[in-house]
Structure 1
Amino acid sequence: MATFSLERAVPLTPDEAWRRLTRWERHGDTVPLTRVTAGPPGPTRRGTLVVARTGAGPLAFDDPMEVTVWQPPGEGVPGRCRMEKRGGVVRGWAEIEVSAGPGGRARVVWREELDVRLLPSLLDGVLVRSGRLVFGRTVDHLLRHP
């Protein structure tokens, strides 16, 4: 399993950073051949299923993730979302934490553990570097664009 984390400090309120990071459909904006959906309709909550469909035609696969922790940021309380990956290809979890940082900036921490079926553990280092690149680009994009 490959585990990595990203941290960002951005000139946004924690509420705004949270809102931008949890607009699930936007997560596919920077990942080629990926479309993200969430359901059931309505606001995200425990039990929401977020599905990233990656690929084209017969080479596509789903990465379903169930929201198991949903705690938006509050007064003095960091926001935290945890998603458990439930797919047949990608397993593991992802966590997003948003808190108030110094100077009125939001502090964002993204942690992820990935286990890709049929990928030998020898390639975990490549998976960590790829994950940091792909998810870092996605986080940066989401935080820059309302």
Structure 2
Amino acid sequence: MKTIKIPTLAGLAAAMLAPTPAIAATPIVGRWLTEGKTAIVTVAPCGATLCGRITTLMKRPESGPPVDAKNVDPALRGRPLQGLPILTEFSDAGDTWRGRIYDPQTGKTYKSVVSRDADGTLKVQGCIAFLCQTQTWTAVRN
């Protein structure tokens, strides 16, 4: 005769409280060509979070290096666009990365959600409340 073990209440509770693997967002570290093909942004660790800097400008003006002319802070308007951090404080939020994005064309910073699509592109959203504007960035191969 077979003995059937019936789980105890304590055993069921322990099984329900056991850690389950967390869902992690697909990594976004790398070099990305912006949707308008105006810049390459390099995403890399910055302390405990990720950030993205403009590392290459694809179109340069004829006179002098491009600067952050539209920044709302007049003291920052002379800083060069190349090297400028535009993605900051990004952390893994499960299936997406969440942080802040700076738009040098408007001089404003927005909440941002970034995710990597199955085709390898990066979906980059800048949001005000529930309204988001989305761009698709493509991976840069060396």
TM-score normalised by structure 2 residue count:
0.38
Task: Tell which structure's C-alpha radius of gyration is larger.
Answer: 2
Larger RCO: 1 or 2 (CA < 8 Å, sep 6+): 1
